[in-house]
Amino acid sequence: MKKNFWSAIALLAALNAIPAFASASSCVDCHSNAATMKALVPAPVASSGEGEG
Amino acid sequence: MGYVVDEKVLETDPHFEYGCSFCHEGDSNAATQAEAHQGMIKRPSDNLDTCGTCHESIAATYKLSLHYTNAGMKNGVSPRFSESEKMVYDEKVFEQSCRSCHASCGDCHVQSPIVSGVNTGFIAGHDFVRKDESKTCALCHGGRVYPEFTGDYGGRPDIHYRNGMNCLDCHSATQMHGDGIEYLGRRDVAVKPSCLECHKEDMEATESAKDAHESHEESVSCTACHTATGYRQCSSCHLDEGATSNPAIVLGDNPRKPGQLTTLRLIPTVRSTFEKVGIHQENFDTLPNYWDAVPHNIQKRTDRTRDCATCHSDHLDFLSEENLPERGSLKNFELVR
User: Range with the lowest mean pLDDT among B61-65, B116-120, B168-172, B221-225?
Assistant: B116-120
- Residue spans of alpha helices (H) in B236-325: 303-306, 309-312
**Distance, CA of A53 to CA of B142 (rounded, Å):** 7
Taking an 8 Å cut-off on Cβ atoms, the answer to whether A37 and B1 are in contact is yes
**Distance, CA of B36 to CA of B24 (rounded, Å):** 10
Q: Which candidate, B303, B289, B249, B313, places its Cα nearest to that of B77?
A: B289
**Residues near B257 by beta carbon (within 8 Å), at least 6 away in sequence:** B292
Q: How does residue B1 score in pLDDT terms, banded at 50, 70 and 90? A: very low
Would you list the DSSP string of B18-69?
T-THHHHBS-TT-SSHHHHTTTB-S-GGGSHHHHHTT-HHHHHHHTTSHHHH
* Stated pTM of the model: 0.86
Mutation pick from A18, A25, A27 vs chain B, by most beta carbons of B within 10 Å, is: A27
Residue B47, amino acid: N
**Distance, CA of A35 to CA of A28 (rounded, Å):** 13
ipTM score for this prediction: 0.70
Round to the nearest angstrom and report the end-to-end CA distance of chain A: 75
What's the pLDDT score for residue B319? 97
Q: How does residue B127 score in pLDDT terms, banded at 50, 70 and 90? A: very high
Query: Which residues on adjacent β-strands are paired with residue B245?
Result: B234
Task: Assess if residue A52 is contained within a domain.
Answer: no
Q: Is B308 on the interface with A (CB under 8 A)?
A: no
Task: Assess if residue A48 is contained within a domain.
Answer: no
Task: Assess if residue A13 is contained within a domain.
Answer: yes
**Residues near B334 by beta carbon (within 8 Å), at least 6 away in sequence:** B253, B255, B258, B288
Taking an 8 Å cut-off on Cβ atoms, the answer to whether A50 and B29 are in contact is no
What is the mean predicted confidence (pLDDT) over B54-71? 97
What separation in angstroms does the CA of B180 have from each of A11, B101, B190? 52, 21, 11
User: Range with the lowest mean pLDDT among B64-68, B153-157, B194-198?
Assistant: B153-157
Helices (H) and strands (E) in chain A, counts: 4, 0
Give chain A's domain count: 1
Report residue B262: phi and psi, to 5°: -150, 175
Provide, as residue numbers in chain A, all residues whose Cβ is less than 8 Å from the Cβ of B24. Answer: 27
Mutation pick from B8, B10, B152 vs chain A, by most beta carbons of A within 10 Å, is: B10
For the sheet with B251-253, list strands across it: B251-253, B261-266, B290-292
Taking an 8 Å cut-off on Cβ atoms, the answer to whether B6 and A44 are in contact is no
**Residues near B162 by beta carbon (within 8 Å), at least 6 away in sequence:** B156
**Distance, CA of B247 to CA of B101 (rounded, Å):** 25
Domain hosting A30: range is: 2-40
What separation in angstroms does the CA of B76 have from each of B27, B73, B100, B316? 44, 6, 17, 29
What is the mean predicted confidence (pLDDT) over B196-224? 95
Task: Assess if residue A50 is contained within a domain.
Answer: no
Q: Is B298 on the interface with A (CB under 8 A)?
A: no
Task: Assess if residue A49 is contained within a domain.
Answer: no
Task: Assess if residue A9 is contained within a domain.
Answer: yes
Nearest chain B residue (CA) to A39: B1
Q: Which candidate, B179, B123, B169, B167, places its Cα nearest to that of B141?
A: B167
Which DSSP state fits B202?
T
Asked if the model's pLDDT at residue A18 lies above 60, the reply is no
| pLDDT, tens digit (0-9, with 9 covering 90-100), for B298-313 | 999 999 999 999 999 9
Task: Assess if residue A20 is contained within a domain.
Answer: yes
Domain coordinates in residue numbering, chain B: 1-193, 205-337
Which DSSP state fits B318?
B
Q: How does residue B186 score in pLDDT terms, banded at 50, 70 and 90? A: very high
Asked if the model's pLDDT at residue B99 lies above 80, the reply is yes
Residue B278, amino acid: G
Asked if the model's pLDDT at residue A22 lies above 50, the reply is no
**Distance, CA of B143 to CA of B56 (rounded, Å):** 33
Taking an 8 Å cut-off on Cβ atoms, the answer to whether A52 and B30 are in contact is no
**Distance, CA of B98 to CA of B69 (rounded, Å):** 10
CA angle B177, B183, B187 (to 5 degrees): 95
Q: Is B121 on the interface with A (CB under 8 A)?
A: no
Q: Which candidate, B68, B115, B99, B97, places its Cα nearest to that of B279?
A: B97
Task: Assess if residue A32 is contained within a domain.
Answer: yes
Torsion sign over Cα B180, B183, B188, B189? positive
Mutation pick from B13, B40, B100, B116 vs chain A, by most beta carbons of A within 10 Å, is: B116
Query: In this structure, are residues B71 and B183 in contact, taking their beta carbons and an 8 Å threshold?
Result: yes
